[in-house]
């Protein structure tokens, strides 16, 4: 069982960089089966990640990252997140995220109108990414 005040190492890695490598007290991540939480001493497991906001508590403060897909390996002493992409809220270009949201919404409208050339899953994922990025960006400013 986790002892009170315990910490574990949280590593968030993308194909291009190590985004985070810190001792944290807790973490909540977007799994493909829903959000899941981790405290020190958690039982080990491996899961896939969805698009969403990864939240962790460090030195009494809540921090956020936007992750898009990948895997999480939870161990008793650490969590390793291998994400397709991950970014801190302050790194998010709000204007670019808004344009991405608008493009995704337009593609979804075309799909609803019957356009066979629109990839629904891709458009829906693009919209979800843009919305999560916009929400997280507001927390980082």
Fold: same for 8-87 and 92-139: no
Are 22 and 58 in contact by the 8 Å Cβ rule? The answer is: yes
Q: What is the distance between the alpha carbons of residues 70 and 63, in angstroms, rounded to a whole number?
A: 20
pLDDT of residue 69: 92
3-state secondary structure (DSSP) of residue 80 = strand
Q: Does domain 92-139 have CATH number 1.20.950?
A: no
Distance of CA 61 to the CA centre of its chain: 18
Question: Six-digit token pair at 25?
Answer: 């007290």
What is 8-87's CATH superfamily?
F0F1 ATP synthase delta/epsilon subunit, N-terminal (2.60.15.10)
Confidence band of 5 (pLDDT split at 50, 70, 90) = low
80-133 pLDDT per residue, tens: 999 999 999 999 999 999 999 999 999 999 999 999 999 999 999 999 999 999
Q: What is the distance between the alpha carbons of residues 13 and 86, in angstroms, rounded to a whole number?
A: 8
pLDDT of residue 2: 44
pTM score > 0.75 for this model?
yes
Strand partners of residue 28: 37, 55
pLDDT of residue 59: 82
Q: Which residue is associated with the tokens 């574990």?
A: 8
Q: Has residue 67 got a pLDDT over 70? A: yes
3-state secondary structure (DSSP) of residue 7 = coil
Q: What is the distance between the alpha carbons of residues 92 and 68, in angstroms, rounded to a whole number?
A: 14
Domain ranges of the chain: 8-87, 92-139
Question: Six-digit token pair at 13?
Answer: 């890695």
26-49 pLDDT per residue, tens: 999 999 999 999 999 999 999 999
């Amino acid at each position: 069982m986790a002892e009170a005040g315990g910490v574990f190492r949280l590593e968030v890695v993308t194909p291009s960089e190590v985004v985070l490598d810190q001792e944290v007290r807790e973490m909540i991540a977007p799994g493909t089966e829903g959000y899941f939480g981790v405290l020190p001493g958690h039982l080990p497991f491996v899961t896939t990640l969805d698009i969403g906001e990864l939240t962790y508590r460090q030195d009494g403060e809540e921090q956020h990252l936007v992750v898009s897909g990948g895997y999480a390996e939870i161990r008793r002493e650490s969590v390793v997140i291998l994400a397709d992409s991950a970014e801190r809220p302050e790194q998010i270009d709000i204007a670019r995220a808004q344009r991405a949201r608008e493009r995704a919404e337009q593609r979804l409208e075309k799909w609803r109108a019957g356009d066979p050339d629109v990839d629904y899953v891709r458009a829906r994922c693009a919209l979800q990414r843009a919305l999560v990025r916009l929400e997280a960006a507001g927390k980082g400013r």
